[in-house]
């Protein structure tokens, strides 16, 4: 892919209502987990809710969270919304309990919340966590071919919805006192402003993107070999013109289930030919819970904060996300002296 610079970020989550607060909390390992109004296996379910005042629910809550994250990017970049395409990532269409109106109503509600109109080539991506891949491809085209100075990629999602919780509980996907192999559901919004390289200041640059499909999904009985993630990693590194020697740590959407950790370990074990003494694995869901379509932009926000504040293990980042249906997306990022 043609390179894109992550110029600014915005985050709304259970551990912080702006990027600085949320990323600092994630760095410190703070968790937003607390008892929710949902009960599973006779116990109150833990969840990571965003503490909005006043409290909101449904589409109104998603619109408010997304507007806050996007507004943070607009304020930091001084971008003109009319000239800025917005790529909005939301839950996949097959998600149980998916809110009605996500594909049409949410975008309109977000604009109304901010009292702005975004560029007419704005688009909604309904692909869940893996929507990051489609969003980055769209941003690349809009920045390099359509002449957009900035493209804002945002994701917003909530698993703290009754029908979603019921379906996940039935599938035994949730972390409860009776199920240690599960995740804590959450909700969040995150946004990043992307632009073409050309500045004189240091910056976080997205250099490569890889996508593939894993046949041995979490619901499959096939043996897991991490073929999809390995293929996506190799494609992203080839696209970036880099090798595993050029990446220093990983950022991922892993949210607590054994499947995700096993897949990540298998993929690295198969893909790397030379042992890396240190290859940290960061997973923001540890702090903000499983937040669906929001996690891709949140990962980019964390990478930007770590690079700018100097606590990243190194300049190279390997980020990967994936959907339950097997779609895998890998992005290679690097902090460069001139972006």
**Nearest Cα residue to 62 out of 163, 151, 187, 167:** 187
pLDDT at 211: 98
β-strands 86-90, 151-158 pairing: parallel
72-107 burial, b for 16+ CB within 10 Å, e for fewer?
Answer: bbbeebebebeebbbbbbbbbeebebbbeebeeebb
pLDDT at 279: 96
- Return the CATH number of the domain spanning residue range 203-336: 3.40.47.10
SS3 per residue for 132-160: HHHHHHHHHHHHHCCCCCCEEEEEEEECC
Q: Where in the chain is the domain with CATH 3.40.47.10?
A: 4-195, 203-336
Other Cβ atoms closer than 10 A to 175: 22
Structure-block tokens of residue 135: 């969003």
Q: Which residues pair with 206 in a beta bridge?
A: 4, 333
Q: Outline where the chain has alpha helix (H).
A: 19-27, 58-77, 105-114, 131-144, 162-170, 227-240, 258-271, 285-288, 295-309
Residues 261, 157, 92, 233: what is their CA dihedral angle, to the nearest 10 degrees? -40
pLDDT at 339: 74
Structure-block tokens of residue 289: 């819970």
pLDDT at 6: 98
pLDDT at 150: 98
Q: Which CATH superfamily is domain 4-195 in?
A: Thiolase/Chalcone synthase (3.40.47.10)
Give Cα separations from 295 to 121, 148, 190, 314 (angstroms): 23, 24, 7, 22
Structure-block tokens of residue 207: 């250099």
pLDDT at 67: 98
pLDDT at 200: 82
pLDDT at 338: 81
Burial of 295 (0-12, 13-18, 19+ CB in 10 A): buried
Tell me the pTM. 0.97
> Is residue 286 within 8 Å of 31, Cβ to Cβ?
yes
Series of mean pLDDT values for 10-residue runs along the chain (339 residues): 97 98 98 96 95 94 98 98 98 94 94 98 97 98 97 98 97 96 98 93 97 96 96 98 97 97 96 90 98 98 98 98 98 92
SS3 assignment, position 118: coil
Give Cα separations from 167 to 16, 94, 172 (angstroms): 28, 12, 9
Other Cβ atoms closer than 10 A to 2: 12
């Amino acid at each position: 892919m043609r390179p894109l610079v992550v110029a600014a970020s915005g985050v709304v989550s259970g551990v912080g209502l702006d990027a600085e607060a949320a990323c600092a909390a994630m760095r410190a390992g703070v968790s937003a987990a607390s008892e929710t109004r949902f009960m599973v296996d006779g116990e109150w379910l833990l969840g990571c809710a965003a503490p909005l005042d006043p409290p909101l629910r449904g589409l109104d809550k998603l619109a408010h969270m997304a507007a806050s994250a996007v507004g943070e990017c607009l304020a930091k970049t001084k971008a003109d919304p009319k000239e800025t395409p917005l790529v909005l990532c939301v839950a996949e269409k097959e998600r149980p309990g998916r809110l009605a109106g996500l594909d049409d109503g949410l975008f309109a509600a977000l604009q109304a919340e901010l009292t702005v109109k975004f560029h007419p080539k704005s688009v909604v991506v309904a692909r869940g966590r893996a929507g990051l891949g489609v969003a980055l491809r769209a941003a690349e085209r809009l920045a390099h071919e359509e002449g957009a100075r900035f493209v804002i990629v945002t994701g917003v999602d909530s698993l703290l919805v009754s029908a979603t919780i019921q379906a996940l509980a039935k599938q035994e996907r949730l972390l409860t006192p009776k199920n240690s192999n599960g995740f804590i559901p959450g909700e969040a919004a995150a946004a990043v402003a992307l632009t073409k390289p050309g500045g004189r200041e240091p910056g976080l640059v997205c250099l490569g993107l890889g996508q593939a499909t894993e046949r041995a999904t979490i619901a499959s009985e096939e043996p897991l070999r991490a073929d999809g993630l390995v293929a996506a990693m190799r494609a992203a590194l080839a696209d970036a013109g880099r090798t595993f020697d050029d990446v220093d740590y990983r950022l991922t959407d892993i949210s607590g289930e054994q499947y995700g950790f096993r897949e990540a370990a298998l993929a690295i074990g198969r893909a790397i030919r030379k042992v890396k003494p240190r290859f940290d694995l960061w997973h923001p869901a540890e702090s903000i819970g499983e937040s669906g379509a929001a996690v891709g932009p949140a990962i980019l926000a964390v990478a930007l904060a770590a690079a700018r504040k100097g606590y990243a293990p190194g300049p190279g980042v390997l980020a990967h996300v994936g959907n339950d249906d097997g779609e895998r997306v890998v992005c290679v990022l690097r902090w460069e002296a001139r972006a």
